[in-house]
Structure 1
């Protein structure tokens, strides 16, 4: 009877270890499956890093994103959105929400808008993860997705 109890205890420990490993893997996959997190933006014209953007996911799955800091020539904490024409006019870029209303759409997020603080224009936005969740392809467009431009952002740890 004792060897049967010891065997059951060993099996139980193996199940606990396996459960912990699965939970850890599921957490990693969930992060990779969502754009939530920190991203280094890369300028599509120059190929240079511009800013760090934090994307958060609400309880309903909707995404929004704000600028945490500029990089390089864009690292002036007093820089303002002088080109903006909405309520963000002359507001600080640091802390500004530039992505809003992104909803899950299959393997992508769509239906939201993105602000280009360089020209103050709002664009429709679509985004999807690439390379196991380590890159985020962000497309801003007017009307249809063919009329726009894309940037590939890099996930920050």
Structure 2
């Protein structure tokens, strides 16, 4: 193998590794999965604003005409708002002592019941999946979301 071939292969390997690490963040578009049916439920867009993550419901993926359209049970400024377009993730920051853990006291809202949970998010499988865990005291619920292109 020539030195130029080796350099070329090394460059491709480093570019591939860099793109893999770039996905180890919650920033992006995700499909939430229904706990009961296993089907995609909603599309969430997570963005980074100055090192703090927030996320909005950008569309519903359900065909249920009886699905809730507004968050009537919400207790804060989101009460009565349309679920589509609603910010359901607020104040999530990277944890400085744990690689690929995003929490920082951030919150996630379940617009179906109006409850706000402390959230922790961990990208999995090279960033293809996102483990989202909402806590209320010692109790928690975990979902796995799927990254969309």
Q: TM-score, normalised by structure 1?
A: 0.77
Structure of greater relative contact order (alpha carbons < 8 Å, 6+ residues apart): 2
| TM-aligned CA deviation for residue 59 of structure 1 | 2.8
| TM-aligned CA deviation for residue 52 of structure 1 | 0.3
| TM-aligned CA deviation for residue 21 of structure 1 | 4.3
What 5-or-longer segments of structure 1 have no aligned partner? 1-10
What 5-or-longer segments of structure 2 have no aligned partner? none
Residue number in structure 2 paired with 1:103: 93
Greater Rg by CA? 1
Residue 63 of structure 2 aligns to a residue whose secondary structure is helix
| TM-aligned CA deviation for residue 29 of structure 1 | 2.6
Contact 2:21 2:126 in 1 (8 A): no
CA distance 1:19–1:94, shift in 2 (3 Å): farther
1:129 counterpart = 2:123: yes
> Structure 1 residue runs of 4+, over 4 Å off?
17-24
Of 103, 118, 142, the match for 1:150? 142
Give the alignment's Cα RMSD to 1 decimal. Answer: 2.6
Partner Cα separation in structure 2 for residue 42 and residue 75 of structure 1: 18
Contact 1:81 1:118 in 2 (8 A): yes
Bigger Cα displacement from structure 2, 66-75 vs 20-29: 20-29
Listed one character per residue, the Cα deviations across residues 65-113 of structure 1 (whole Å, up to 9, x for unaligned) are 100000123689x921122121111111111100011111222111200
In terms of fraction of residues, the more helix-rich structure is 1
Residue 29 of structure 1 aligns to a residue whose secondary structure is helix
